[in-house]
Amino acid sequence: MPNVAETAAYYADFGLAPETGGVFSTVDGGKQLKLAEAPTRRLLEIRMGVDDPDDLDRIAASLARLGVTAKRDGTVLVTEEPVAGFRAVIEIAERLAQPEVPATPYNGPGRIERDTARAPVLSRGQPVRPRKLGHVVIGSTDRAATQRFFTEGLGFKTSDEVLGVAAFMRCSTDHHNVLVQQAPVNFLHHTSWQLDDVDEVGRGAMAMLEKHPERHAWGLGRHYIGSNFFWYLKDPAGNFSEYYSDLDCIIDDQLWQPGVFEGARSLYDWGPPLPPSFLLPEDVAGLMTGSHQSR
């Protein structure tokens, strides 16, 4: 983005911990975001972990079959996605093992989990701190090709699809780590950050909006695809950032039935009405007009 300093202040407010060089870390995931200067906002690079050198060999061979070149340098494989044009770095890394956070006690009919006590959220004074980066959503002018890059090239699995529009893909037990959506221009739609529970989603968003109501984008709601609670906010560069909790997890690939969805269900199960500029933010429409004019 052009406005790195302003955007960095936003992500510090968001609860990511600033490191040096525009890098931010999460509680469980470590360094997971880097802001860098660019003439317009866009995704420059995405980094993924694999277990061993065999994985790198397999990915390099799969990419070659797609006609995509990749450069191997020791434990790292670097390539470029052919449509949206971001760098993809695949490196041998430890799997992320998250410590278990105890379930929040919620009372229900005939089910008193919180005996003679007020809700825990009322005594949570600390600002929210995302546990990890959950997923990245990429707008591509050729969704099918970008999707193939992730599935046939990098080995992602498809969890669910929106008919002709988007694919939710995973490289972990999370329902999705990357989502590619069809778009008139290539752009970064949002990044999404895991919180402990729905109370943290509400608390985090409220804190972000207290002095900056213009940051609000869409929420609170629950998605249908992935089932997660969501609240989307907008950074000063125009990228959405999502707080989420309670995302579907796919432990046994054999037991998951990928679905193909259409209409409202592809967007959410419940929540406020979809803002008109959510799927295609206004500045992206502007970029598109600009790219047409310059031809």
Cα angle 243-138-168, degrees, rounded to a multiple of 5: 75
Minimum CB separation of residue 30 from Fe ion in Å reads 21
Q: 17 or 267, CB closer to Fe ion?
A: 267
- List binders of Fe ion among 119-148 (CB under 5 A): none
E-only strand ranges, the chain = 17-18, 23-26, 30-34, 45-50, 70-73, 76-80, 87-92, 133-140, 157-162, 166-170, 178-182, 187-194, 216-222, 229-234, 240-245, 259-261
Q: 10 or 268, CB closer to Fe ion?
A: 268
Q: 42 or 223, CB closer to Fe ion?
A: 223
The amino acid at residue 278 is: F
Burial class (CB in 10 A: 0-12, 13-18, 19+), 209: middle
Q: 149 or 230, CB closer to Fe ion?
A: 230
What distance in Å separates the CA atoms of residue 119 and residue 107, rounded to the nearest whole number? 9
Minimum CB separation of residue 143 from Fe ion in Å reads 16
Q: 79 or 192, CB closer to Fe ion?
A: 192
Stretch that binds Fe ion, among 1-9, 12-20, 67-75, 239-247 (CB under 5 A): 239-247
Contact between 239 and Fe ion by CB under 5 A: the answer reads no
What distance in Å separates the CA atoms of residue 65 and residue 121, rounded to the nearest whole number? 51
Minimum CB separation of residue 228 from Fe ion in Å reads 7
Whether residue 84 contacts residue 145, with contact meaning beta carbons closer than 8 Å, is answered with: no
Minimum CB separation of residue 254 from Fe ion in Å reads 26
Residue 16 CB neighbour total at 10 angstroms? 24
Q: 173 or 291, CB closer to Fe ion?
A: 173
Q: 190 or 203, CB closer to Fe ion?
A: 190
Whether residue 183 contacts residue 165, with contact meaning beta carbons closer than 8 Å, is answered with: no
Minimum CB separation of residue 137 from Fe ion in Å reads 6
Q: How far is CA 258 from CA 154, 160, 210, in A?
A: 19, 5, 39
Minimum CB separation of residue 208 from Fe ion in Å reads 16
- Contact map string, positions 171 to 210, toward Fe ion, x by CB under 5 A: ---------------------x------------------
Whether residue 219 contacts residue 206, with contact meaning beta carbons closer than 8 Å, is answered with: no
The 8-class DSSP code of residue 148 comes to: H
Q: 8 or 166, CB closer to Fe ion?
A: 166
Length of the chain: 295
Contact between 26 and Fe ion by CB under 5 A: the answer reads no
Minimum CB separation of residue 118 from Fe ion in Å reads 31
Minimum CB separation of residue 265 from Fe ion in Å reads 15
Contact between 242 and Fe ion by CB under 5 A: the answer reads yes
Residues that bind Fe ion (CB under 5 A): 192, 242
